[in-house]
Amino acid sequence: MCDRPLVAASDRAAERVLEQEHLLTTLLAERDGLLAVLDRVLALKGTARLLRDAAGADAGFVADLDGPERAVIRWLAGNRTDSLQDLVVPKGQGIGGRVLALCRPVRVSDYVSSPSITHQFDGHVSREALSAMLAVPVLDDRPGSSTIVAVAYAALRGPGEFGDDAVSAVQRVAVDAARALRLADRAETSRTTAVAAERARMQASLHDSVGAMLFSIGAQVRDLRSALPDNPMLRTRLGRLECDVSAASRALREALLALSESSPERALPIELAEHCRSFSARTGVPARLVQLGVVDPLDAERTNLLVGAVREGLLNVEKHAGASTVVVSIGPVDGGVQVAVADDGGPPGEDAVECTDGAGLGVRMLAERAARLGGRVSLVHDEDGGTTLRMLLLGPARVESR
């Protein structure tokens, strides 16, 4: 009598465990499905399998666009070899290239003998023993768009051909694939935005805490040095300490720059304006950017070098200029781009301590790198006590023509 309730409770517990396991399995399956939609690679891998199944084919594969004039076959289902993997298909060549050119479905009953396509890829297709083949464009799913974002294929081994029903089925898969790619791109944008927001938060936190602390220590050391004119030994030691603080500040700026997630495609004036704002917040010295003309986008190497020149110029001002204002300028000059950092302070005093820790680019290193790109660097101490660092870089076309 006493055992029955225990047995019933045990049965109910077992039932709950099974229900929980079923629920977990369902949730995991839904998660996997969602990930397949929100991840571009998973979406296209799944599309290759769907193409094969929808058309009743032996193989399905997807070519992703690699520029406006060619596609690359990257995702396959039902393949026997790697002959088609990463195959580049230029516009107009083969069945996929014909789809790129015509922006409509193309089908052949026997690939290697078809008179309607070119035959650069007959060897690849023969190694897979494929015969009939169908390819359709995957179009951007935005309303009114006719842009091809991928090419979807289905293929048979042995005799056969693709009828209108197969074409319609593959086109439906292509529509779903376009929607999945669009969602994946949006998800990637959201992930990128979230990462950028977290980087910005960390950057602001480091700047407001560690950056402010280092600036305060440096200012106190400088004040102490100036208050002890009759103790050369102590002044030298304080100078070395000031140099160490400056090195720590540079290391922090390197970390902040990495967190800023700058990219070569970013507009150079925007990048320089951010450095001006950071310099002003860090030192209390006003710094403003003046754009002297429209600057065309540059490649990564030139962009990074011009940004490095401005960073070095602002660093020199922070170290020893005693400036009350700084002007950073950028503009087109002599077929290239010039940046300049000008301050109204003075050159280093006689008691300035040379920092040799190797941090930063340094004016000499900047000049060497600029020379390799057909540019030049100058550091001029003005008669009124100010200093100007300039860098001029020519564009790639101008350098090649010299």
Question: Per-residue pLDDT tens for 102-148?
Answer: 999 999 999 999 999 999 999 999 999 999 999 999 998 777 677 89
User: Between 295 and 63, whose confidence is greater?
Assistant: 63
Amino acid at 336: G
Q: What values do phi and psi take at 159, rounded to 5?
A: -65, 150
What one-character-per-residue DSSP string does 69-110 give? TEEEEEEEES-SSSTTTTEEEETTSHHHHHHHHHSS-EEESS
- Region of 327 please: left (phi>0), alpha (psi -120 to 50) or beta: beta
346's tokens? 């003075």
The pLDDT-based confidence of 170 (bands split at 50, 70, 90) is: very high
- Contact partners, residue 257, CB within 8 Å, separation at least 6: 311
Partnered with residue 253 across adjacent β-strands are: none
Please say if the pLDDT value at position 3 is more than 60: no
Please say if the pLDDT value at position 158 is more than 90: no
Question: Per-residue pLDDT tens for 197-244?
Answer: 556 666 666 666 676 777 777 777 777 777 766 777 777 777 777 777
User: Which pLDDT value is given to residue 118?
Assistant: 95
Cα–Cα distance list, 160 to 76, 106, 114, 118, 172 (Å): 20, 15, 14, 21, 21
The pLDDT-based confidence of 34 (bands split at 50, 70, 90) is: very low
How are beta strands 336-343 and 87-90 bridged, if at all? unpaired
Instruction: Count the neighbouring beta carbons within 10 Å of the beta carbon of residue 143.
Output: 5
Residue among 195, 180, 202 at smallest CA distance from 75? 180
Q: What is the largest CA-CA distance in the chain?
A: 108
CA 127 to chain centre: 37
Please say if the pLDDT value at position 330 is more than 50: yes
User: Which pLDDT value is given to residue 166?
Assistant: 93
Handedness of CA 294, 299, 300, 305 (dihedral sign): negative
Q: Give dist(CA 36, CA 185) in Å, integer.
A: 12
Please say if the pLDDT value at position 96 is more than 60: yes
Instruction: Count the neighbouring beta carbons within 10 Å of the beta carbon of residue 48.
Output: 24
The pLDDT-based confidence of 88 (bands split at 50, 70, 90) is: very high
Please say if the pLDDT value at position 358 is more than 50: no
Please say if the pLDDT value at position 348 is more than 80: no
Asked if residue 52 lies in contact with residue 78, where contact means CB atoms within 8 angstroms, the answer is yes
pTM, two decimal places: 0.43
Please say if the pLDDT value at position 167 is more than 90: yes
Asked if residue 182 lies in contact with residue 38, where contact means CB atoms within 8 angstroms, the answer is no
Residue among 331, 345, 340 at smallest CA distance from 378? 340
- Which of the 8 DSSP states describes residue 320? I
User: Which pLDDT value is given to residue 6?
Assistant: 45
Percent of the chain with pLDDT over 70: 70
305, containing H or E segment: helix 300-316
Question: Per-residue pLDDT tens for 282-319?
Answer: 777 888 888 887 777 778 788 888 888 888 888 888 87
